[in-house]
A and B are shown apart, each in its own frame.
Chain A
């Protein structure tokens, strides 16, 4: 019989990360309405994925996890984000290299690629960002959970792993909910799970030597053809700035007589 302690220390964590436009960049729609401007725009790891990497690394530092494997699906340049994950503490990385145009590698295809990686790697826990800040889809973790037949805890603000279980507190519309999940399981991160560390220079240097393997969707037997076609991308109607009022009396008068909302 496997002791509890041994079981705990056998947790391998897979952390998928996505390369997206940096969160501080002001996004511009292309004039031909085919998408947003990506040329010479600063790219970064999706912020929710940074939180996922941080959580996995903390579980390893706490002795709960044995190995943290970062994986990214997308263009060759996603290696940069994998190197960031390695600098933050992941042990090794896998790039599933799929050269598609912007928006064409969609959540279902990514979930299928991740399923294939899970079958090879046999993680006990997969921690993903709850959504990517480019397409705001909020799908991949739930889809992967479905394809694997595993339990899911989305929008996590606290994760405790012990005794073959993950106990996860989730941020839901009415407040908080805590679920206990049998491992293997899927967790997606919300903002308040942790504050990710910064990569230090020595760790950035060390990360260059950590292993990074590359796979192709065809090797994994996954069809990544898009199901959704983007017909156009436009800017939303701009809201006009209104007026500054001098004092509370003028504000109340405007709300009553002009806007008629009170």
Chain B
């Protein structure tokens, strides 16, 4: 059995989600290879070679992998799929965009967002926004899987795998990048942060969101998150969203501020180790999952909390 993990990276370094995906591969068992496809991605390939448990890194370096488009990457993965029993990618927007395309080209099912490994062909995955967990068995020769990163502890370093250059596939030329607007932040990545300060509709405006939550996040070295309501209202950009259809997070400490706790939001954060909720409504559903609840006016309580830390 051997497993191919598709690395998510920015050419210079691996994204944290890749480390969790390698951990899921290790749980399945077998020889682990990592595919790094990019443009000028030697540094990312080197980083992959140093991960614990990785036996080989395959590196496809070509200009037409710069934008990481699903069309070109899927063709490359399929061309290199022979001999692998499993193909894994993180269940991030990168992996979710790419892997179903790979699965369909291989004529196999995809098992989305696994949170547990029962055996090499049987996996646990959340359905209905995490309100149920399904155990599914695959009858396909190749198991194509995306991995819920919060369910697997990141692997460390300690590997010394060889990096093998592989031939790039063709440039299909189906899509063209027009532009990107990426959120620039000095803060930890939301998906990998140990502490997350998350705000909702209760903050009432984007100005309040930043004025109240940033000083708190600074004190805690936290990432900033948000509920769908806060994103829809334009307080913060879409990449802040935590929930069923946004990011799934499981930090050591999650502070939900002015978030009522819709089921879709809980789906994205209820595996956090410790949850704190600050909300003026004592009956808000968020208090049903919070370890520590503080009922009151967030405009008074949040600055108080920031000052007390």
Residue of B nearest to A252 (CB): B308
Please classify how large the interface on chain B is, using the bins under 10, 10 to 19, 20 to 34, 35 or more: 35 or more
Residue of B nearest to A138 (CB): B96
Residues from chain A with a CB closer than 8 A to the CB of B103 are 108, 139, 143, 146
* Pick from B69, B282, B305: contact of A248, CB under 8 Å: B305
Residues from chain A with a CB closer than 8 A to the CB of B294 are 244-245, 247-248, 251
Q: Are A242 and B93 in touch, CB under 8 angstroms?
A: no
Q: Are A106 and B109 in touch, CB under 8 angstroms?
A: yes
Residues from chain A with a CB closer than 8 A to the CB of B74 are 146
How would residues 129 to 167 of chain A score, 1 for a CB under 8 Å from any chain B CB and 0 otherwise?
A: 011011111111111111100111111010000000001
Q: Are A241 and B132 in touch, CB under 8 angstroms?
A: no
Q: In the bound complex, how far is the Cα of B136 from the Cα of A232, in angstroms?
A: 7
How would residues 218 to 262 of chain A score, 1 for a CB under 8 Å from any chain B CB and 0 otherwise?
A: 000000000111111111100101111101110110110001011
Q: Are B289 and A241 in touch, CB under 8 angstroms?
A: yes
* Pick from B132, B178, B293: contact of A167, CB under 8 Å: B178
Residues from chain B with a CB closer than 8 A to the CB of A244 are 282, 287, 292-295
How would residues 154 to 182 of chain B score, 1 for a CB under 8 Å from any chain A CB and 0 otherwise?
A: 00000000000000000000111111111
Residues from chain A with a CB closer than 8 A to the CB of B231 are 192
Q: In the bound complex, how far is the Cα of B238 from the Cα of A131, in angstroms?
A: 17
Residues from chain B with a CB closer than 8 A to the CB of A103 are 134
Q: How many contacts A-B (CB < 8 Å)?
A: 251
Residue of B nearest to A103 (CB): B134
Stretch at the interface among A71-79, A82-90, A170-178, A203-211: A170-178
B70 interfacial contact with A, CB 8 Å: yes
Residues from chain A with a CB closer than 8 A to the CB of B228 are 191
A135 to chain B, nearest CB (A): 5
* Pick from A192, A227, A247, A262: contact of B238, CB under 8 Å: A192
Q: In the bound complex, how far is the Cα of B273 from the Cα of A167, in angstroms?
A: 41
A50 interfacial contact with B, CB 8 Å: no
B208 interfacial contact with A, CB 8 Å: no
Residues from chain A with a CB closer than 8 A to the CB of B305 are 248, 251-252
A180 interfacial contact with B, CB 8 Å: yes
A31 interfacial contact with B, CB 8 Å: no
Q: In the bound complex, how far is the Cα of B159 from the Cα of A181, in angstroms?
A: 40
Q: In the bound complex, how far is the Cα of B228 from the Cα of A111, in angstroms?
A: 29
Q: In the bound complex, how far is the Cα of B290 from the Cα of A244, in angstroms?
A: 9
Q: Are A228 and B137 in touch, CB under 8 angstroms?
A: yes
* Pick from B71, B135, B179: contact of A232, CB under 8 Å: B135
* Pick from B104, B126, B127, B239: contact of A175, CB under 8 Å: B239
Interface residues of A in 12-47 (CB under 8 A from B): 21, 26-27, 29, 36
Q: Are B135 and A174 in touch, CB under 8 angstroms?
A: no
Residues from chain A with a CB closer than 8 A to the CB of B183 are 174-175
A198 to chain B, nearest CB (A): 18
Residues from chain B with a CB closer than 8 A to the CB of A134 are 127-128
Q: A108-B109, A151-B175, A241-B289 are in contact. Are A231 and B137 (CB under 8 A)?
A: yes
Greatest chain B CB density within 10 A among A174, A242, A259 is at A174
How would residues 98 to 110 of chain B score, 1 for a CB under 8 Å from any chain A CB and 0 otherwise?
A: 1111111101111
A140 to chain B, nearest CB (A): 8
* Pick from A155, A167, A231, A236: contact of B126, CB under 8 Å: A236
Q: A151-B71, A152-B71, A236-B131 are in contact. Are A175 and B109 (CB under 8 A)?
A: no
B82 interfacial contact with A, CB 8 Å: no
Q: In the bound complex, how far is the Cα of B69 from the Cα of A178, in angstroms?
A: 12
Residue of B nearest to A166 (CB): B175
Residues from chain B with a CB closer than 8 A to the CB of A262 are 195, 220, 253, 309
Residues from chain B with a CB closer than 8 A to the CB of A145 are 70-71, 101
B304 interfacial contact with A, CB 8 Å: yes
A160 to chain B, nearest CB (A): 10
Q: Are A227 and B308 in touch, CB under 8 angstroms?
A: no
Residues from chain B with a CB closer than 8 A to the CB of A216 are none
B244 to chain A, nearest CB (A): 7
A62 to chain B, nearest CB (A): 20
Residue of A nearest to B282 (CB): A244
Q: Are B93 and A249 in touch, CB under 8 angstroms?
A: no
Which positions in A face B, CB cutoff 8 Å? 21, 26-27, 29, 36, 48, 103, 106-108, 111, 130-131, 133-147, 150-155, 157, 167, 170-182, 190-192, 227-236, 239, 241-245, 247-249, 251-252, 254-255, 259, 261-262
Q: Which 8 A-B pairs have the closest CB atoms?
A: A242-B291, A142-B100, A151-B174, A143-B104, A146-B104, A227-B109, A139-B100, A178-B178
> What are 16 residue pairs bridging A and B, where the CB atoms are less than 8 Å apart in the complex?
A36-B127, A107-B110, A136-B129, A138-B100, A142-B100, A152-B70, A227-B109, A229-B139, A230-B134, A233-B134, A244-B282, A245-B294, A248-B305, A251-B276, A255-B276, A259-B291
